[in-house]
Amino acid sequence: MMRNSSADIRQSFLDFYHSKGHQILDSSSLVPDNDSTLLFTNAGMNQFKDVFLGIDQPKYFRATTCQRCIRAGGKHNDLENVGYTARHHTFFEMLGNFSFGDYFKRDAIKFAWELLTSKNWFGIPKEKLWITVYETDEESFNIWAHEINIPCNRIIRIGDDKGFPFVSDNFWQMGDTGPCGPCTEIFYDHGDHLSGGLPGSTEANGDRYIEIWNIVFIQFNRQSDGLMIPLSTPSVDTGMGLERIAAVLQCVHSNYDIDIFRALINATAVVIGSSNVSGIYIKSLRVISDHIRSCAFLIADGVLPSNEGRGYTLRRIIRRALRHGNIIGTKDTFFYKLVRPLIDIMGLTANHLRNKKSMIERIIKTEEEQFERTLERGLLLLDKELSRLTGDTLDGGVAFCLYDTYGFPLDLTIEVCYERNIKVDQIEFERLIEEQRYRARTYSSFNVDYSRIICVNHQSIFSGYEYIKQSSTVTALFRNGQSTEVINSGEEGIVFLNETPFYAESGGQIGDQGELIAYNMRFLVTDTQKYGPAIGHHGNISEGLLRVGDIVDANINKFRRLCISLNHSATHLLHAALLQVLGDHVSQKGSLVSDSSLRFDFFHFEPIKCNDIYQVEDIVNSQIRLNLPITAQMMDLETAKTKHSKFFLNKQYDKIVRVLSIGDVSSELCCGTHANQTGDIGLFRIMSETGISSGVRRIAAVTGEYAIDIMHQDVKIIRESASLLKSDRYRILDKIIALIKNNSQLEKELQQFKEQKAIQDSAVLCRYIVDVGGVKMLVKHLDNVEAKILRSMVDELKNKLGSVVVVLSASFKGKISLVVGVSKDLTDKVHACSIISMLINKIGGKGGGRDDIAMASGSNAASLPQALNDLSSWIATKLSFKIIE
Ligand code: SER
């Protein structure tokens, strides 16, 4: 009998399928690298999507994985339910076995039954299990009934139960289009002490019968018009949540009572400094221990908190956890302290988090500190809204805006309102939330029409590591996305060859350019792309025509390729140098290797200091001068990993991989093209270092002739600057500093001069004073005067004239400025800011101020004369009625 810890269950599942000829593969990243329309990896099959569709060849025909999944945000969003039910999680592990055109229904069902019921494996009593099949799936029904010998009354047929064809609990679809098929599900009966009915019944959503395994028979490719195209190689995709099966084997009903969650909940209580893990605390403790899993794993897979897309969902999860911390009375930042216990508790699954621990902690802690400020700001905004509220209900739109834009939780809004006897329009809030969820779902659904994807049935051999020219046969042609037998002169298309030296864009390296030549035919290749195992040459025919079966000479643009290769080798050297200078936390987030430059994106928390940039540049250049050999070696994946070659965790590699080594400085899994030795790179120069999102930096650099060219341009700039400054290169900087200093001194003097002149000019303005009800008033428009000067003029006039109301307007560079001054003795009759408000009402713009001085700016010059004209009578009214604003 096996032991039943979650770690044992995870391992037993993989061992079982390994014993049935399945290759154990790593979980892919939570950020799907093959589908930008999917928010997060939410099922074990995601990484195999292209294999199911026949776009990619399978690397193995049988595989098994324990896949980390997220169901928060996007199509499958369980976030709001977490903490309140026994089985919802933002993060969970999905155990799965896959057959890619190998075994089908019979073996899939037999394997599952053996694993679940055999005494050597999970040993679940058969009478605790119930089966569902798709209504019309006779084959599965018969296998269960006659080969596994399940009594027919325990096999439930479920048809299209959601009102549309193929919309059923027993017909699984990846999205609106794409791979899909009928499924058979296995349910576990948690016992009659719980409420709930059998699957298919009206009480199916109760707690008694719980689905533990979904076995999907991928048979169709669903088109956007609903058409089901049968796949040439039907496949199997199964998924069993580790947390659910652990609950069964550990004889508990709630997932939150399994070993992993018990340990996490206890660790959370310790961090929070509470010994209470029951009553009102338990919900919040569950939420926090669920959320630390999704947050830590998402950050490890490269997601950072932000205000959009994946980062936004992460931010919402973190804030929800913090809010629950707040509910149970945490006083300080605490969430980040759970990363360490999480890594210990999650065992193997969290191995890749170990060397990222401090980075994950730091990112979460920063977010916690920021949220504290959010709470403060949210409370202020809410206070303001409540102070001007007239009824007894806060608008749902205000609560939504506080929640969505400022991250201020609804329950806190309700709490604050409750204390003041104010209700919140939660119906409107929910409507707005639903609208927002709909937008998120639309964003995340698989909405690609797979029928339009170019599918080529053969593999192109890439000969470009050795050759830059190659004679080859045309195996397929595409024009306007459709397969064709011929491309004519002047037409654009995609050419596939059986063998090609053209590198197809991948691993950050751009595709090759060049030409395909035959007698009387020239096809200019403008780009090269991968289509599964085939390589497509994009371009157009400048002369002649090209047919399938033709023989062509494929010639790449040699110089361009050389430049790309130098940049690619330099990117590896840069990566190694960054690790050396900045530390182990630096990990690649992306790269772009082109002929003119290279770009490298990586994790790092702050702008890199100038000296560190120089040091990185120096290290790379010294390795260039050492002329280290650059070699590629094919080896099996495990050997490559143990050689500490750098690789992406989220990528599924072949069994045999290419390891690119540069001396003993760098070793990376890489399929790109490279220089022969580092000396070929010639020179490496960093052009810029910038931040592209929170925690991700980008370095752009150049190599070889491009670097030399930039160096020449720099020298030219220095020489010409020196000549203009009548200096030499060594004294340029001193000269520029002196010039800047001198210039700012001159600007200061000019300003003083303008102000003095304004004061003199204001004397002249006295002649415009009029008497309004016994009060002196001066209203005047001036041309070409800056706002600052206008203000000095008003101050001067107030000083000089004693009791007065002064209103000056001026135009300067297309803008209107207004300054109003009211002497202190008149402010109980009229306020400067009221006069400004009256003027803003008439001419548009914005402004404000105090009782005695106010300023505004506007752009509607046309309405100014009338507004100034009306002013005297408006002020006269104010003065005679002595209204205080
Ligand atoms: N893809 C199916 C699911 O997610 C089975 O793995 O349930």
- Whether the per-residue pLDDT at 629 is higher than 80: the answer is yes
The CA distance from 80 to 403, in Å, is 14
- Whether the per-residue pLDDT at 372 is higher than 90: the answer is no
- Whether the per-residue pLDDT at 277 is higher than 80: the answer is no
**391: its two tokens:** 């009824």
User: Which residue's alpha carbon is nearest to atom 4 within ligand 1?
Assistant: 43
* Ligand 1 atom closest to Cα of residue 96: 6
* Ligand 1 atom closest to Cα of residue 44: 6
Q: How many CB atoms lie within 10 A of CB 312?
A: 18
Q: How many CB atoms lie within 10 A of CB 703?
A: 29
Least confident of 60-69, 338-347, 853-862: 853-862
Cβ–ligand 1 distance for 43 under 6 Å, the answer yes
Report which DSSP code applies to 506. Answer: B
Straight-line distance from the first to the last Cα atom of the chain, in angstroms, rounded to the nearest whole number: 86
Tell me, what's the pLDDT at 447?
A: 39
Cβ–ligand 1 distance for 44 under 6 Å, the answer yes
Bridge-based pairing state of the strands 171-173 and 514-518:
unpaired
How much distance in Å is there from the Cα of 44 to the middle of ligand 1? 7
Q: Which residues, 6 or more positions from 832, have their beta carbon under 8 angstroms from its beta carbon?
A: 820, 821, 822, 849, 850, 851, 852, 853, 854
- Give the confidence band of 647 by pLDDT, cuts at 50, 70, 90: low
- Whether the per-residue pLDDT at 699 is higher than 90: the answer is yes
The CA distance from 847 to 36, in Å, is 46
Tell me, what's the pLDDT at 184?
A: 98
The CA distance from 846 to 857, in Å, is 6
Q: Which ranges of 388-485 does DSSP label H, i.e. alpha helix?
A: 396-404, 410-419, 426-444
Q: What is the mean pLDDT of residues 225-246?
A: 93
The helix (run of H) or strand (run of E) holding residue 69 is: strand 62-70
The CA distance from 37 to 604, in Å, is 27
User: Could you report the per-residue pLDDT of 762-802, keeping only the tens digit for each?
Assistant: 888 888 898 887 889 999 999 888 888 899 899 989 988 88
DSSP state string for 752-790: HHHHHHHHHHHHHHGGG-EEETTEEEEEEEEES--HHHH
Tell me, what's the pLDDT at 444?
A: 42
How much distance in Å is there from the Cα of 120 to the middle of ligand 1? 26
CB 217 within 8 A of CB 182: yes
**650: its two tokens:** 């989220």
Q: Is 279 exposed, middle or buried (0-12, 13-18, 19+ CB in 10 A)?
A: exposed
* Ligand 1 atom closest to Cα of residue 174: 1
Q: Which residues, 6 or more positions from 54, have their beta carbon under 8 angstroms from its beta carbon?
A: 231, 232, 233, 455
The CA distance from 151 to 24, in Å, is 34
The CA distance from 485 to 341, in Å, is 62
User: Which residue's alpha carbon is nearest to atom 3 within ligand 1?
Assistant: 239
Average pLDDT, the chain: 89
- Give the confidence band of 241 by pLDDT, cuts at 50, 70, 90: very high
How much distance in Å is there from the Cα of 37 to the middle of ligand 1? 18
- Whether the per-residue pLDDT at 162 is higher than 60: the answer is yes
> Which of 42, 45, 184, 185 most suits a substitution to test ligand 1, by most atoms within 8 Å of the C-beta?
45
Length of the chain as a residue count? 885
- The more confidently predicted of residues 529 and 443 is 529
pTM of the model as a whole: 0.60
Cβ–ligand 1 distance for 214 under 6 Å, the answer yes
The CA distance from 386 to 408, in Å, is 15
Cβ–ligand 1 distance for 172 under 6 Å, the answer yes
Q: Which residues, 6 or more positions from 708, have their beta carbon under 8 angstroms from its beta carbon?
A: 682, 683
Known binding residues are 568, 572, 670, 674
**883: its two tokens:** 């209204």
Tell me, what's the pLDDT at 821?
A: 95
Contacts 24+ apart (CB under 8 A), 163-168: 165/226, 166/222, 166/228, 168/134, 168/135
Whose CA is closest to 267, among 288, 281, 242, 296?
Answer: 288
User: Which residue's alpha carbon is nearest to atom 6 within ligand 1?
Assistant: 239
Tell me, what's the pLDDT at 1?
A: 44
Ramachandran angles phi, psi of 529, nearest 5°: -130, 160
- Whether the per-residue pLDDT at 669 is higher than 60: the answer is yes
User: Could you report the per-residue pLDDT of 474-523, keeping only the tens digit for each?
Assistant: 999 998 888 899 999 999 999 999 999 999 999 999 999 999 999 999 99
- Whether the per-residue pLDDT at 279 is higher than 90: the answer is no
CB 552 within 8 A of CB 516: yes
> Which of 17, 134, 237, 243 most suits a substitution to test ligand 1, by most atoms within 8 Å of the C-beta?
237
- The more confidently predicted of residues 749 and 281 is 749
Tell me, what's the pLDDT at 311?
A: 87
DSSP state string for 661-686: EETTTEEEE--S---SBGGGG--EEE
Tell me, what's the pLDDT at 871?
A: 84
* Ligand 1 atom closest to Cα of residue 43: 4
Strand partners, 631: 661
User: Which residue's alpha carbon is nearest to atom 2 within ligand 1?
Assistant: 239
* Ligand 1 atom closest to Cα of residue 42: 4
CB 402 within 8 A of CB 344: no
Cβ–ligand 1 distance for 398 under 6 Å, the answer no
User: Could you report the per-residue pLDDT of 672-684, keeping only the tens digit for each?
Assistant: 999 999 999 999 9
Whose CA is closest to 61, among 10, 98, 109?
Answer: 98
Tell me, what's the pLDDT at 75?
A: 57
- Whether the per-residue pLDDT at 445 is higher than 70: the answer is no
Can you give the three-state secondary structure of 58-115, one letter per residue? Answer: CCCCEEEEEEEEECCCCCCCCHHHCCCCCCCCCEEEEEEEEECCCCCHHHHHHHHHHH
**654: its two tokens:** 């072949």
Cβ–ligand 1 distance for 239 under 6 Å, the answer yes
Known binding residues for Zn(2+) are 568, 572, 670, 674
- The more confidently predicted of residues 557 and 585 is 557
CB 630 within 8 A of CB 637: no
Give the angle subtended at the CA of 357 by the CAs of 354 and 578, to the nearest 5°.
95
Share of the chain above pLDDT 90, in %: 59
* Ligand 1 atom closest to Cα of residue 239: 6
How much distance in Å is there from the Cα of 237 to the middle of ligand 1? 7
User: Could you report the per-residue pLDDT of 378-398, keeping only the tens digit for each?
Assistant: 888 898 889 888 889 999 999
Tell me, what's the pLDDT at 99?
A: 97
How much distance in Å is there from the Cα of 239 to the middle of ligand 1? 5
Share of the chain above pLDDT 70, in %: 95
Cβ–ligand 1 distance for 184 under 6 Å, the answer no
User: Could you report the per-residue pLDDT of 106-158, keeping only the tens digit for each?
Assistant: 999 999 999 999 999 999 999 999 999 999 999 999 999 999 999 999 999 99
How much distance in Å is there from the Cα of 103 to the middle of ligand 1? 17
- Whether the per-residue pLDDT at 407 is higher than 70: the answer is yes
* Ligand 1 atom closest to Cα of residue 45: 1
Q: What is the mean pLDDT of residues 396-401?
A: 90
Give the angle subtended at the CA of 837 by the CAs of 835 and 839, to the nearest 5°.
70
- Whether the per-residue pLDDT at 29 is higher than 60: the answer is yes
- Could you give the 3-state DSSP secondary structure of residue 75? coil
User: Could you report the per-residue pLDDT of 289-344, keeping only the tens digit for each?
Assistant: 999 999 999 999 988 887 677 888 898 899 889 888 887 888 789 999 999 999 99
Whose CA is closest to 263, among 296, 289, 297?
Answer: 289
Least confident of 106-115, 352-361, 415-424, 503-512: 415-424
